[in-house]
Amino acid sequence: MSNNLIGILAMLASAAGFIVNDAIVKVITEELPNGQIIFLRGLAATALLAVLTTVVGAWRPLHVLLAPAMIVRLVAAAFSTLFVVAALRHLPLPTVNAILQVSPLVVTAGAALLLGAHVGWRRWTASLVGFMGVLLVIKPGTGAFGAEIWLALACLLSSATRDLTTRFIDHSTPSMLVTFAASAMVMLAGLALLPFETWVVPSPRATALILVTAGCLFVAYHFGVIAMRIGDIPVVAPFRYASILGALALGYGIWGHVPDAVSLVGIAMIVAAGLYLLYRERSVARAAAAGATGQHGKPGMTDRKA
């Protein structure tokens, strides 16, 4: 089995983990308040990650977690989770999932505006098409969705901030430690909502579902890392959009949600823009590699000429 095939399968597993987690969270919101869901799921996930961090020897001194980039990332991760759980309570699963698929486009725009990264007109166009797709999904001014749509948009911005700040984290900091710290911060964010909510004793069903969501998140993050490290990113990354199909299927199967024709066009635009962005990144990488080869010469060229 090739590395790319392994990477594709891992990315599909990651996408499945995320979308199943979101679907279960939406089900649990019928019984428990947002903060309690986030706290209990975070408690289970953080405990699991603490064990894994110990097993792989990823612990580092506390000051590693106090670096400015790390703090911004952890806070952004906490807000992202708070917003997405709230959005799932009020909005259809496919709608929330489609909006969050724009995150790579927001990261591209943010890298250009905030980090000075070079982004050509093609990638700017792809980002614009993706944003137009979001407008078709949320249909502002039509009354299709209320103020709750801002929760999904706030989650999108928080997620993009989290991803942008990740590149500033010291590469010597283990990924497992970063994941553990983010899970712990999210857990504390859920606990912070306790004074504003009425927490209840979860039923056995809700408890079991929360444990499943913790496992789903572990699968999603773990296999996501495997996919990006083993396979070629331009090859495996497009398969993250498989979660949209999963969201449509689960949204219809559980709640009977069927996006209208305009929303489906918007979702198609988001996917097309994301895939084109990946294609452009692959083209740019190939051009850079070709330029480097031309500058330094091909291996063995001198020997052949001799």
More confident residue, 230 or 300: 230
- Total residue count of the chain as it appears in this document: 306
- In which band, very low, low, confident or very high, does the pLDDT at 305 lie, cut at 50, 70 and 90? very low
- The answer to whether the Cα torsion of 227, 124, 162, 100 is positive or negative is negative
Global pTM reads: 0.87
Confidence (pLDDT) at 301 = 42
Residue 147: inside a domain: yes
Residue 295: inside a domain: no
- Average of per-residue pLDDT across 145-171: 89
Contact 165, 5 (CB under 8 A): no
Residue 20: inside a domain: yes
| Rounded-to-5 percentages of helix, strand, coil across the chain | 80, 0, 20
- In which band, very low, low, confident or very high, does the pLDDT at 187 lie, cut at 50, 70 and 90? very high
Least confident of 5-14, 241-250, 286-295: 286-295
Residue 249: inside a domain: yes
- Average of per-residue pLDDT across 124-133: 92
The tally of domains found in the chain comes to 1
More confident residue, 147 or 213: 213
Give me the domain span that covers residue 71. 3-286
- What value does the mean pLDDT of the chain take? 88
Q: For residue 52, how far is the Cα from the chain centroid? A: 21
Residue 191: inside a domain: yes
Residue 296: inside a domain: no
Number of Cβ atoms within 10 Å of the Cβ of 38: 27
Of the candidates 159, 278, 181, 175, the residue with the CA atom closest to the CA atom of residue 222? 175
Confidence (pLDDT) at 306 = 31
Of the candidates 238, 241, 234, the residue with the CA atom closest to the CA atom of residue 283? 234
Q: CA dist 73 to 76, 158, 168, 193, Å?
A: 5, 9, 10, 20
Residue 207, pLDDT > 60, answer yes
Residue 303, pLDDT > 50, answer no
- How crowded is the C-beta side of 100, counted as CA atoms within 13 Å? 30
Confidence (pLDDT) at 235 = 77
Q: For residue 49, how far is the Cα from the chain centroid? A: 18
Residue 184: inside a domain: yes
Residue 176: inside a domain: yes
